[in-house]
Every structure is written in structure tokens, then in C-alpha cells.
Amino acid sequence: MADEHVSPDLTVEEIIYEHPCIECGENGINSEASYFCENCGIQYCRMCFKEHERTVKFHSVLGPTQKDAWGPVRSSEYERCKRHRGNDSDMFCGDHLEVCCSVCVAVSHGSCKDVQRLNKDRRSSTKASSYALPWQRHRDPNSHPLSRRPSRYTVGADHVFTLTDRQWYSAWVNTDEKDSEISGMCQLHDGTIVIVDSENCKVKQLDNYNNYAVVAHCSLPERPRDVCVISDTEIAVTVLSFNEANMVHRDSIHFITLNEGVMVPGRVMNLPHGCRDIAHQQDFLYLASMDTIYKYTLEGKLVKKIYHDKSGGEGSIERMVMSGDGHRLYVCDKATNQLHTLSIEGKCLASFSDPDLTLPTGVCVARMSGHVFVCGQWSHTIVQVSKDGKHKLSTLAYEADGVEFPQTLLYDVHHTALVVGHWECDHVLVLRLK
């Protein structure tokens, strides 16, 4: 504790604690620690310890009555990793401009081409030194650690999730003229969630610190359908445009920059065909119309068609997403009530159907672990499917859980939750998982 004879004239910032909170100290706050984590080698105050307990449940922790047994605070020439607290942030991913630890590299950056170890003396690689590092960009002395986004350890690829809680959050803004229809979602690496409201022709940014409130939005000229991440500050949105005179689709891709809470529309890529769904991987866009999947460069050059639905008619591709490692595409087939798993070259690797899945309209993949979830609009269900797309692991949620005419899904890696968008519904449903 602090010296018992501390002058009453001292401010909180001037008090010197025998056991200061390390987390608070890193954010310019002076407070006394009450807990010590033996795994992390870090002292926590009561508030920071609550955050530690919520994100890391199985570490060995000593309380305030055991201070004689507290070990030394782990020192390092590096910042500590915010996801894996016991590890040094001694790696730099040039693809994502992200400083991270070796575990992050193994879990999240396995397919990245530009990963370097930071120089101990400079705490930067040659490339990293030319960028503002995360602690240089975001360090705010007035912010408390509890305001940060929580992160979780990833679970095994074969883990079967169960539903623990559900909550509804409004996605309505006062300029909306119709009931929302959430038709697409994506999540940036920092946890920011972006949703597409096709009925109101808007793209909306959610605050997923706590309440998933709409914190920014922008309007589009016509009906948007889907969205994907291009970079840490840029997204791409598919916009549908139907020419009634010629009875043809002339859809487009709109690029939007996220700049400190403001969504700024940018360039537009016009297409000679329909485009409903979009995915991005290593400078290529994968675009899906109702019957064909195309591969494009980011500059708008068609590389090739990689898949064509041969069922005839108007086509049956209802939804397309890409696996986190970029090796597979998952396609919802509304005509056959199946989920198809394709190689990145368009070869069908597996087709899945189940009595609990009728009219599959949404599919999502956990970015790091690869878990696959698919929703059925007419069955009012969410099913967890094996990573290879061959069999069901569980029926995770039903209509009684709030799943009613679901349209799209997102796995929120920062909260271990599924975010569900519904047909003609102003709210998103958040299903907490374990």
C-alpha cells in the first residue's frame, strides 16, 4: 500500500504505491493493485482485475491478502500483447500494420506475407518504423483500460458452442424511413462492426465496446447488399442496380473509408453483371451474382469466373463468404437447401443439408478459428457446421431464442458471440456463446 504518512496535500497522481496497477500505469492513471496474475506477471487494481477475469478465466491469481507471495512484475523491453497478456508484442505484420505477439502470428497471421520480428533496441522492424505503431496511434492518457475492447483466447477448431445469453440492440437511426433489413455484416481487425441496411440504403458502424449502438452511418444511392473488409480503415459494399428497361443488373462496388467515427464514401467500381456478395483476400475481390462467382483485382479487372451454378433459372446463390485463411468459399444454395464448400478455385468440396436448415440465407466463419455457422430463414435456426462443411456439429439456436427470418450472420471474435440480422427488423440479435 501507499506510505501511511502520505501528505494530505499530495494529489492522486503524486502518491507512490508499493504495488501500483500496471494496466492503469500504462494509461496514465495512478492506482493501487489488489491482485497479481502469476501467468501474466502483472499487478491489477480491482477494476482492471474484473476485465482480466472476464477475458482470461483460467490464470492463477493471488489476492490482496497474499501480497507476500506476489512475484516480481514481469519486465520487458516490449509492450505486452493486448490479446495474450503474458507475451511480448515483438512481432510486426506489415499486411495489417499490426504489432502483435508470436501467438497472434500463429493464430491470425499465418497467411500474411510480411511478418517480421521487431528489433529489441528500437522496438521496430525496418518497415514498422515507417508507420505509427498501435501504442503511438491510440494511446490516450485519459482512457481507462476498461474502455478497451475485450479480446478472447481462440478455442479449438472442433469446439461445439452452446448458447448462454441473448440480447437485442437497435440499429435504427432517425433518418431511417423504413424498417431495417440487415443484409450484410463485417468486422474489422480492431473489432469495429459494420452492417448493411438494404431497405434504408445505408451502411452503419456499430460500437461493439458494450452496446452495439450505431455510432456512424452513410447513405448510398441505391440498395446495398453485402460488405467486406479491405483494410483496417476501408470497407467495400455491393450496391444493386436493376435496369427495368433492359431487365439486366448493372451492380457496383462502393469503397468507404472509416475515419475517426466518420464514414467517407470513395471510389466506385461499376460492373457489367450482377453482384450480391463480396469477399476480399490478398488484393483480390471475390464477387457473387445469383449464379456466378467472379475473381477481380482491386482495380476492377476481371481475372476469371471461378464458379457457375448450373441449376438453370435465375440462379440459386443466396450467400457467399470466405474462410479466414482464404482457402475456401462457403455458398448458401437456396434451391437445394444446401451449404456448398468450394475450394478457392471453385471446385465443390462438400455439400451439406439438414432437416434443421431450410432456405439457408446467411453463413459466417470465425476469422481466427474457422468455425462455421449457417442460418435458415424458413427454419428459423442457426446451425454450427464442421470446418470442412460435411456435417452438423449442433443446432445452436431456434425461433424460441429470437431467431426469426434471419438474413445474415457475423461471428464477433471480440465477444465470442453471433450477431444476427433479420428480415424487416430494426434490431440486431446478439447471441452470447461459450
pLDDT, tens digit, 9 for 90 and up, residues 18-50: 888 887 776 667 778 888 888 778 888 877 776
Residue 79, pLDDT score: 64
Q: State mean pLDDT over 132-146.
A: 35
The strand ranges marked E within 133-282 are: 163-170, 182-187, 193-197, 202-207, 213-219, 223-231, 234-240, 242-243, 248-249, 252-259, 262-270, 277-281
Q: Between 319 and 78, where is the model more confident?
A: 319
d(CA 155, CA 188): 20
Helix or strand run (H / E) with residue 22: helix 22-26
Among 421, 427, 417, smallest CA distance to 165 is for: 417
Among 365, 361, 368, 377, smallest CA distance to 411 is for: 365
Angle at CA of residue 263, ends 365 and 432, nearest 5°: 35
Work out the pLDDT band at 361, boundaries 50, 70, 90: very high
pLDDT above 90 (res 332): yes
Task: List, in sequence order, the alpha helices (H) in 39-145.
Answer: 46-55, 102-108, 134-138
pLDDT above 70 (res 67): yes
pLDDT above 70 (res 69): yes
Residue 305, pLDDT score: 95
Counting residues of the chain whose pLDDT is more than 70, the rounded percentage is 77
Residue pointed to by grid coordinates 482485475: 49
Lowest mean pLDDT across 140-154, 155-169, 391-405, 416-430 = 140-154
Residue 41, pLDDT score: 80
Residue 375, pLDDT score: 96
d(CA 107, CA 104): 5
CATH number, domain 80-148, options 3.30.70, 2.60.40, 3.30.1370, 3.30.160: 3.30.160
Mean pLDDT for the chain overall: 81
Q: What is the pLDDT of residues 284-323, one digit of tens each?
A: 999 999 999 999 999 999 999 999 987 655 678 999 999 9
CATH number for region 163-433? 2.120.10.30
Max CA separation in the chain (angstroms): 86
Domain positions in the chain are 1-75, 80-148, 163-433
pLDDT above 60 (res 121): no
Work out the pLDDT band at 123, boundaries 50, 70, 90: very low
Residue 109 contacts residue 77 (beta carbons within 8 Å): no
Residue 136, pLDDT score: 35
Work out the pLDDT band at 133, boundaries 50, 70, 90: very low
Phi, psi of 335 (to 5 degrees): -75, -35
- Exposed, middle or buried: residue 322 (CB in 10 Å: 0-12, 13-18, 19+)? buried
Residue 74, pLDDT score: 62
For residue 404, CA distances in Å to 210, 238, 382 come to 24, 25, 10
Work out the pLDDT band at 242, boundaries 50, 70, 90: low
Among 202, 178, 159, smallest CA distance to 393 is for: 159
The dihedral of CA 372, 421, 222, 220: what is its sign? negative
Among 384, 393, 331, 398, smallest CA distance to 360 is for: 331
